[in-house]
């Protein structure tokens, strides 16, 4: 059983629903998430976020009655509103549509002094219950057959101690806000990588290096939303954007270290995420020319010219980074 569609089957094995169930004074039954979402068969859980992040509306249930052809009236209120309204099974506002067992779970939760809200879609003249949530000051449960296995347990495991405030805080939210609330935000990685760029790298570090040029020629097979960047032991130089479809040379400034003139050429993503390089395209040793370039103050320094072969292509290297061996041809000159 998968969690898809607005008509999500959330039912529970409970006692038959009485003619009218009201909020119990003092709590007539024990609040049990396992009982309110019991399961009588094996299931295949889906993503609980997909089950909850659906378009629709929220209603607070104060009492429930009826049961004719799965249609239930009662005393409802728009979630967040103050004034409840009475809905008869055959009257307007349209009643709720749900399974008998789901309604039974709602009645049980009300007798346990829990607050109950339902999320509804629409089908014909009735509101179709997509899921129901009951909560006390300390506990919560999704209501319906297998809801404990499909929703309550996986969301508790995912959210930990934040489960109760997070889930009860969903009431009244849109599908977009529900998904955002249940999707953990990944912290930005604290990269230790250094970008060799004024304002981003220490001035003392940049002063210890010489400046040259990185010149890249990329054939059509290497055009795409990626970047090629050079890297020293001290950090990363500016990158060439492969989405620039020029087949002529593209140049960017490059720092290099005359004392350790080894440069690596890397493929990175479109954002040049320095902490997550994709493939090493090659290593270049500038030692033969670094001394000559450093000795002539009138010269700008080293020009590292790199061309990429047609094969393997950009797509092949992204899929299989090890295939990049031999793709790079480099020449080093002085300007």
Complete DSSP assignment for 38-51: --SS------HHHH
Per-residue pLDDT, 74: 81
Q: Last residue of a domain, which of 151, 182, 213? A: 182
Domain match, 207 and 178 both = no
Picking from 228, 217, 190, 244, the residue whose alpha carbon sits closest to that of residue 317 is 228
Is residue 286 assigned to a domain?
A: yes
State whether residue 52 is helix, strand or coil.
helix
Domain match, 155 and 245 both = no
What distance in Å separates the CA atoms of residue 237 and residue 302, rounded to the nearest whole number? 14
Complete DSSP assignment for 198-245: BTTB-HHHHHTSEEEEEEEE--GGG-SSEEEEEE-SS-EEEEEETTS-
Query: What residues have CB less than 8 Å from 130, skipping those under 6 apart?
Result: 6, 7, 8, 10, 54, 56, 118, 119, 120, 121
Cα 312 off chain centre by? 32
Domain match, 25 and 173 both = yes
Is residue 15 assigned to a domain?
A: no
Is residue 116 assigned to a domain?
A: yes
| pTM score above 0.85 | no
Domain match, 157 and 288 both = no
Q: How many CB atoms lie within 10 A of CB 262?
A: 15
Domain match, 39 and 164 both = yes
What distance in Å separates the CA atoms of residue 226 and residue 242, rounded to the nearest whole number? 5
Between strands 57-68 and 115-123, the pairing is antiparallel
Per-residue pLDDT, 208: 93
CATH of the domain at 317: 2.60.40
Domain match, 132 and 269 both = no
Per-residue pLDDT, 70: 79
Q: What is the pLDDT along the chain (335 residues), one digit of tens a residue?
A: 333 332 333 332 233 333 333 333 445 688 999 999 998 877 777 889 999 998 888 888 988 887 777 788 888 877 755 454 554 444 445 678 888 888 899 999 999 999 999 998 866 666 889 999 999 999 999 999 899 999 999 898 888 888 899 999 999 888 889 988 887 665 444 557 899 989 889 999 999 999 989 999 999 999 999 999 999 999 999 999 998 877 778 999 999 888 887 899 999 999 999 989 999 999 888 775 455 445 444 455 688 899 999 888 898 888 878 888 888 888 887 76
What distance in Å separates the CA atoms of residue 161 and residue 163, rounded to the nearest whole number? 5
What distance in Å separates the CA atoms of residue 182 and residue 170, rounded to the nearest whole number? 9
Per-residue pLDDT, 162: 84
Domain match, 122 and 216 both = no
Range of the domain at 94: 20-182
What length is written for the chain?
A: 335
Domain match, 150 and 223 both = no
Domain match, 103 and 208 both = no
Q: How many CB atoms lie within 10 A of CB 335?
A: 12
What distance in Å separates the CA atoms of residue 141 and residue 116, rounded to the nearest whole number? 10
Per-residue pLDDT, 299: 52
- Tell me the Cα Rg of the chain: 32
Is residue 191 assigned to a domain?
A: no
State whether residue 151 is helix, strand or coil.
helix
Number of domains in the chain: 2
Is residue 1 assigned to a domain?
A: no
Per-residue pLDDT, 215: 93
């Amino acid at each position: 059983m998968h969690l898809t569609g607005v008509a999500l089957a959330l039912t529970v094995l409970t006692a038959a629903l009485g003619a009218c169930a009201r909020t119990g004074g003092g709590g007539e039954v024990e609040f049990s998430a396992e009982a309110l979402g019991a399961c009588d068969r094996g299931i295949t859980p889906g993503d609980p976020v997909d089950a909850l992040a659906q378009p629709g509306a929220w209603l607070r249930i104060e009492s429930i009655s009826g049961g004719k052809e799965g249609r239930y009236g009662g005393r409802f209120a728009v979630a967040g509103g103050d004034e409840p309204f009475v809905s008869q099974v055959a009257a307007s506002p349209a009643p709720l549509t749900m399974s008998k067992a789901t309604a039974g779970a709602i009645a049980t939760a009300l007798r346990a002094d829990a607050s109950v809200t339902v999320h509804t879609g629409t089908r014909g003249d009735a509101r179709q219950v997509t899921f129901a949530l009951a909560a006390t000051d300390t506990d919560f449960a999704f209501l319906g057959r297998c809801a404990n296995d499909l929703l309550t347990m996986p969301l508790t495991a995912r959210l930990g101690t934040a489960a109760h405030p997070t889930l009860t805080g969903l009431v009244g939210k849109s599908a977009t806000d529900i998904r955002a609330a249940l999707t953990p935000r990944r912290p930005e990685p604290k990269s230790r990588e250094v970008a060799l760029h004024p304002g981003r790298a220490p001035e003392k570090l940049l002063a210890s290096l010489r400046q040259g040029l990185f010149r890249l020629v990329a054939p059509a097979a290497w055009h795409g939303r990626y970047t090629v960047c050079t890297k020293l032991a001290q950090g990363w130089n500016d990158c060439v954007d492969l989405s620039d479809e020029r087949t002529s040379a593209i140049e960017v400034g490059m720092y290099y270290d005359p004392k350790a003139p080894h440069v690596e050429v890397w493929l990175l993503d479109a954002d040049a995420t320095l902490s997550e390089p994709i493939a090493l395209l090659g290593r270049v040793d500038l030692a033969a020319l670094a001394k000559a370039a450093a000795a002539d103050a009138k010269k700008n320094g080293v020009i590292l010219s790199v061309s990429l072969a047609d094969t393997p292509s950009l797509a092949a290297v992204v899929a299989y980074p090890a295939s990049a061996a031999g793709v790079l041809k480099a020449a080093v000159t002085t300007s």
